[in-house]
Amino acid sequence: MIEETMTPTERTRAAIKLEPCDRIPVAPLMDVMFPSRHKGMTVAEGIAHPRRGFQAIVDTFDDVGGWDAMILPGYSLPVPPYISAVMQVVIGDTRYPGKDPGISEDSSPQFIEKELLTIEDYDEMIKLGWTGFAEKNLSRFFPLDPELLLAWTKRQMERYKTEGELWKARNIPSLCGGMVMSPLMFLSTRRSLVSFTQDLYRMPDKVQAVMDAMVDDLIKFAIEAAHATGIPGVELILERGGCFYYPLKIFERFEFRYIKKMVDAFAAEGFITVMHLDQDWTLNLPYFLDLPKKMCVCELDSTTDIFKAKEILKDHMCIMGDVPASLSSIGTPAEMTAYCEKLIDQVGKGRTGFILSTGCTIPFDTKFENFQAMIDSVKNHLPA
Amino acid sequence: MSELANAIADLKEDEVKQIVQDRLASGADPMSIVDECRRGMEIIGQRYKDKEYFLGELIMSGEIFKEAMAAIEPKLKAGQAGKTLAKMVLGTAKGDIHNIGKDIAATLLKAAGFEIYDLGTDVAPEAFISKLKETGAPILGISGMLTPSFESMKQTVQALEAAGLRNKVKVIIGGGIVTEMVRKYVGADAFTDDAPEGVELCRKLAGAVK
């Protein structure tokens, strides 16, 4: 066991600010699903009972001997309580375990890819702006009393704050008080990948006009949420704009210009941006050198080359990741230890600028002994 | 390379439509038009390998190919449409209702000349086995986006063994989270997280079982 001379908050902050750490910090991207199953509940129970679900996270934290930071404090959503903000969440078709056909009690929620927004919606968004569009079309996506929706949002926000405060009392920092997608991520997932891709090629100017019409609102929602929760950071959810999907000319025009605008705005508020980068972004990494230094975390899911990320970004931003989901789910503790030690040695070189984490959210069928091996790896192994 | 193949390779959607329409109106052999479209798709595959094209271009080309085929197919004589590389049964594993990766793979595989039997999402092992028996397809593709799909994939391979089909059917698994570790766990013959690579692997598997 390595002798610790820093608190989890000091250690995590040092890693993000590229300053030396006593050891590499570890911060899994945690939700209620794996902890619920670990504590004998089904995934459906954990989701349906937020207090019990959150308690399962806390108990799992204790069972494994603790980790250094929460990326998000729990499973609530930090959304400011007004219609245009909530509509980002309401427009979507997610199927839930135990509630929807085909999703068993012990499965994760699954997002259905379909065309929820139309090309006519593009025209309306350009004309009315995001807020005007959202207020006009709420009933189309949420046919119940809007007051119910706003009350739900307020409860989510209150819970988010409470969860963050609980971790703070344990001296465990939560990194993100706001959460938002880039315009491209939002539109691709709500138009569907195939239709949105056709839009990019058939009507690029219109797509850009829609993005221009919504980006300032997205920035505003995230900043307001981070202020309201008192957690000075934003989780920027990104997947569909990287080199797995599109060439750099599309990334530059439809994704990076908005990422930069968003990250710059968050940094101006003093907020760290955790860029949640699913899928492969290896060719996009050099662009991140244009983002504010020491104000971002590059959170990778194991499909981007994390070693290349370290090589390119080592003097600029902290790297986080990237234990593959398959390793957590069907690997062995020895395989987990070997992989984590490789990350610690190579990405954690210099004992800074790296936070060990799960590649995306921890799978709900993670073997506890594998998770234990992941958490223990940083406590027992220093970079070579 | 023909004008049509080049138009497909350059993603010139309107031009492809026009050329196909003109060729059909002039009485050209519909099968030769299909072959030219497939040559265009091969160029797309090469550009993807060369990192000139990405998934977005594959999606676009797949949709252009589909539109072209919709115009050509009614003109194909009986039997011509059956001229395929190999039959293949495809679906997303039981417990997983994601369709996007599977659908993109299906489009590209069809464009490459495979005859696809797409069973959709949340497909039980017995449904895969039943369709393999019915069609005699030598290749099974199972897609998965969630870790529990590994278990469903494994059960399907076990069901293939129990049905005495394992030595007649090659199994490929695909999805953003599959790895060599998952392939071994499942007992599949190949894995991919990349649709064009999946097409290449299926071509090899088709050769291996002929």
CB A64 within 8 Å of CB A371: yes
pLDDT at B82 over 60: no
Contact A247 B178 (CB under 8 A): no
Q: Is residue A157 part of a domain?
A: yes
Q: Which of A34, A37, A96, A108 best tests the B interface by mutation, with the highest count of B CBs <10 A? A: A108
Confidence label for A100 from pLDDT (cuts 50, 70 and 90):
confident
Q: Supply the range of the domain harboring residue B151.
A: 86-209
Q: Residues with Cβ < 8 Å from A277, sequence gap 6 or more?
A: A238, A239, A242, A298, A299, A300, A301, A304
Residue B81 lies in a domain: no
Sheet holding B139-143, edge to edge: B114-118, B86-92, B139-143, B170-174, B190-192
Residues B166 and B107 in one domain: yes
Phi, psi for residue B97 in degrees, rounded to 5: -110, 15
Q: Same structural domain for residues B64 and B134?
A: no
> Does residue A257 belong to the interface with chain B, where contact is any CB pair within 8 Å?
no
| B169 and B91 share one domain | yes
Token pair for residue A168? 């703070």
Q: Which of B51, B75, B99 is the last residue of a domain?
A: B75
From A161, A234, A168, A229, select the one nearest A8 (Cα to Cα): A168
Q: Across residues A60-82, what is the average pLDDT? A: 93
What is the number of structural domains in chain A?
A: 1
Confidence of residue A347 (pLDDT cuts 50, 70, 90): very high
Phi/psi at B183 (nearest 5 deg)?
Answer: -55, -45
Whole-angstrom Cα distance, residue B39 to residue B21?
A: 18
Share of chain A above pLDDT 90, in %: 84
pTM: 0.93
B161 and B61, same domain (yes or no):
no
> Is it the case that residue A302 has pLDDT exceeding 80?
yes
Domain extent at residue A333: 8-79+144-380
Confidence of residue A256 (pLDDT cuts 50, 70, 90): very high
Model confidence pLDDT, tens digit, residues B124-180: 999 999 999 999 999 999 999 899 899 999 999 999 999 999 999 999 999 989 999
Q: Say whether both B199 and B117 belong to one domain.
A: yes
In B99-128, the residues whose Cβ lies within 8 Å of chain A are 99-100, 103-104, 121-122
Q: For residue B134, give the CATH number of its domain.
A: 3.40.50.280
Q: How far apart are CA B126 and CA B119, in angstroms?
A: 12
Q: Are residues B71 and B92 in the same domain?
A: no
Q: The complex's ipTM?
A: 0.90
Question: What's residue B83's pLDDT?
Answer: 63
SS3 of A111, please? Answer: strand
Inter-chain touch A326–B178, beta carbons under 8 Å: yes
Q: Are residues B93 and B180 in the same domain?
A: yes
Identify which of A310, A233, A242 has the alpha carbon closest to the alpha carbon of residue A272.
A233
A50 in a structural domain: yes
Please check whether residues B25 and B115 belong to one and the same domain: no
Map tokens 């995934």 to a residue.
Answer: A43
Are B137 and B196 contained in the same domain?
yes
Tell whether A96 is covered by a domain.
no
**Residue B37 contacts by C-beta under 8 Å, 6 or more apart in sequence?**
B4, B5, B8, B16, B20, B65, B68, B69, B72, B111
Decide if pLDDT at A113 tops 90.
no
Nearest to A198 among B63, B146, B179 (CB): B63
Question: Rounded mean pLDDT of chain B?
Answer: 92
Q: Any idea what the CATH number is for the domain that residue A17 is in?
A: 3.20.20.210
Residue B89 burial (CB count, 10 A): 26
User: At which residue do the structure tokens 């766990």 appear?
Assistant: B185
Question: Residue B56 belongs to a domain with what CATH number?
Answer: 1.10.1240.10
pLDDT at A343 over 70: yes
Domain count, chain B: 2
The tokens for A319 are: 């790297």
Smallest CA–CA distance, residue B28 to chain A, in Å, is 29
Looking at beta carbons, which pairs linking A82-85 to residues 24 or more positions away fall under 8 Å? Answer: A82/A150, A83/A134, A83/A135, A83/A138, A83/A146, A83/A149, A83/A150, A84/A130, A84/A131, A84/A134, A84/A135, A84/A217, A84/A221, A85/A153, A85/A217, A85/A221, A85/A224, A85/A225
Instruction: Show the tokens assigned to A84.
Output: 């245009």
- Any idea what the Cα angle at residue B80 is, between residues B77 and B81, rounded to 5°? 105
The pLDDT of residue B1 is above 90:
no
Dump pLDDT digits (tens) for B84-105.
889 999 999 998 888 888 998 9
Q: What is the pLDDT of residue B81?
A: 59
